[in-house]
Amino acid sequence: MRTVPPPQSSPSKPTYALPRHACDTHVHIYGPSDRFPYDPDRPYDAPEAPAQALENLHLHLGVDRVVIVQATVHGTDNRAMLDAIARRPDSARGVALVADDATDNELQTLHAGGVRGLRYNFMPHLGHSADPRAVLAMARRVAPLGWHVQLHVQAEHLAELHPFLSTLPVPYVIDHMGRPMVRDGLEQPALTELLRVLEDEQAWLKISGPERISEILSQGPIPYGDVVPFVQSMLAVAEDRIVWGTDWPHPNVREVPDDGKLVDLLPRYADAGVLHKVLVDNPARLYGF
């Protein structure tokens, strides 16, 4: 089993001051494994990244709110995520992984614990891809709770998923910008398809993971600066339905980024008014802060 590296231990202090109530909408918690064991069937192993380490990072970055996305290494055992939310219930929410046969009581317990969405993987390298029929069935069940579904999917596959997406009765959130690679240019079919999907009022997007799509990575004068025009094209279509996240502790990336530098990318994406939507207003609507 491969092991992913830990996050950077001493990220830089951002020069950009995040607005009050800024929300990091995509992080994970790993462990501590003596309290919350890893799933024996996990697709990768990871060093521990517990709730206290995340809280320390957010204090350093100036982040006030957080959405904790259930980590693949914990499978459908959401206890580590729920424990992290319980430490800061007014400023934390969660996105869970559940079995297709999860009971109504289980869903209600997750809701009471701060969960506001379910994540589904359409990335074969992380294991078996989700069954759209099962996702649709679960979406119908969680719609009365006001939840959404979060889709880990590449933009190049959105066209084939369009019939499924159009039937969802809840908002759907696309992870990590849908991963349109910078090397393929702004006119690439994957980005064109993503922008078309974003015209749907049910569609949301996380502008997280620039290190996943950048061509220059951290080597250029502005780390991941080549991603800026891609994000700007997304904001031009759906600035009211885009949220931001660090993706800490950065599993399955080509290089582990400096989280302070990720914050400093934000003012290159948009002006203060648009960033307030992305960092404060939009996540407050989507996650119920």
- Measure the CA–CA gap between 250 and 252, rounded to whole angstroms: 7
The number of helix segments (H) and strand segments (E) in the chain equals 11, 8
Type of residue at 113: G
Give the CA radius of gyration of the chain: 18
At residue 148, the pLDDT reads 98
State whether CATH 3.40.220.10 applies to domain 23-287.
Answer: no
Give 48's contacts (C-beta < 8 A, 6+ positions apart). 30, 31, 32, 33
Strand order in the sheet with 203-207: 23-27, 65-69, 92-96, 115-121, 148-152, 172-174, 203-207, 242-244
Nearest-CA neighbor of 287 among 83, 50, 77, 111? 111
State residue 7 phi and psi, 5-degree precision.
Answer: -70, 165
- Measure the CA–CA gap between 202 and 241, rounded to whole angstroms: 9
Tell me: the pLDDT tens digits for 67-89?
Answer: 999 999 999 999 999 999 999 99
pTM above 0.85? yes
Alpha helices in 187-269 (DSSP H): 189-197, 210-213, 228-238, 259-269
At residue 125, the pLDDT reads 56
Active site residues: 247
- Measure the CA–CA gap between 248 and 29, rounded to whole angstroms: 9
Sign of the dihedral defined by the CA atoms of residues 51, 262, 59, 282, in that order: negative
Nearest-CA neighbor of 282 among 241, 234, 225, 232? 241
Q: Is 208 helix (H, G, I), strand (E, B) or coil?
A: coil
At residue 214, the pLDDT reads 97
Identify the residue whose tokens are 């992984």.
97
Which residues of the chain have a pLDDT value below 70? Answer: 124-128
For residue 88, with 0-12 CB atoms within 10 Å meaning exposed, 13-18 middle and 19 or more buried, which class applies?
middle
